Structure 1
């Protein structure tokens, strides 16, 4: 276990405090960094995500993608949670907590907008950051890549009608430039870069060369993750200090949503007998969000200063620390998971000649 993994909670806490403090005392710096964007996609953040995921993508052998079909249980569970459970459960949680329990503590004029933002957030499954979470759980990289690609394809046709259905709108404005640019920046570019690097390394030293380069890149990847956390909280440092109660209340249904959906996916994979290396990323994909698209959609529909935009931003704030906690749960429950009857039965079938 690395120092990062051993003291994970401490590093996350430090990054959150540093981010909030820096955002409050030197807001100009973060405003300047935040302004480096195109189509609501922050370019410095894209670079950090490249640094995080390219080392993981270098490990992927595209020739092995044809074997992903044997993980059909994990694929089915992930798609079910992402598209049949997650948006609808968030609509219910939003109504329960924001529309009812917390209503007396929130601005009355923003209640519906807050709920809308939560729904938009839940309707956009995560893309690039999933590679980070999958790597931390020693997840099956080919399954993760294929599942992310499948979710992206579904999102192009399903995001707009699903949000329109849950929000009761006849039509919604999908920020297509944000969606397509995000897919290109967070998936296509790093995949191509990683595979070009992999081919060059294989031609100039084989797997030994890959292992040496990954030993150098891995600390950089972890550093990029921590810096991302500082930036996310730095961008919103002023808002966190100015209205902490509203942000805390909006975080409650998001937290419940993450743990519910990740737990549901994890348990369903265990019941179906899927391998732990697939159940981990399946649970993480089922719980995390494509926050760049969600924020852009909320702003385009309701405005920059709307409750919907704030709700999606809260999703951004809780994304990294909460998903790291899910990673911890997945890693520390591996023994329980693999003791499941269906898991042991399928494992026995795999080892039998």
Structure 2
């Protein structure tokens, strides 16, 4: 499968500020072929048009995406699941929430549900609510994968390590978990932001970098090239991060009490690749090159979170769609990526877009 361009629905505008149908139209108009559908967007649409009925909203989204020739890459995030100390809650998610997501996935026409590594904060007494016990984490994820295999057709799961997660915050840990889960429908997402954001970036430091940033990232990339079986990589995400003008401490406007600094940075200051003029500084190209050098071909999604997405201007989705499209064109050229129709379809569409804007 040639590399195909996707974007997260949340990366075109904030739910509740920018409606999902408008964002989907902008994605199609700017040459995207797939959407990572965030449940928050689906939920907002359900409340806006269907009296909270997620099933009706899913049918509406599927029909709209079919009309726009957009694929739904995945439904996400199925979060705060694995490694819970509250085993009753883990069972509720597995046996009550998950079947509803299976139904939504079938309606939406996707066989993929994304699970971010757990970042559930401590309780009000400061006590942890998750365990780092690897056997428990693996067992929980085996249970969810087995439920997926029982579906017709089977549902796959894509696990992603978040740079601020409680226990699984590096791709190496994520990949070890995927190997130990050892199910054909359980794989991983490789994300330039979360990989570099963990071992290279430190938003709390004046330099924006960890003490051994360059060496640590080189080692991580070399390890990735040597170790990862590309068949376990279900899709990749490629975005950058903004170097802050001041350390993200308690006085910083991005600070949120009780949340990790990297999470606050991520929520406010991601950028598309090649946006150095906006402050981009992560070695995105080095990380991304490793993904394709190990043989990855498939969905390349631009999952961006930013304060700019909350801008109520109706042009916000169009502006972000255009920025992402421009980033993709530069990435394809820089890495000489194999894409569907050698980008012919996208370039023709972009010519129309540029002529009408």
TM-score for the superposition, normalised by structure 1: 0.28
TM-score for the superposition, normalised by structure 2: 0.27
Q: Higher strand proportion, which one? A: 2
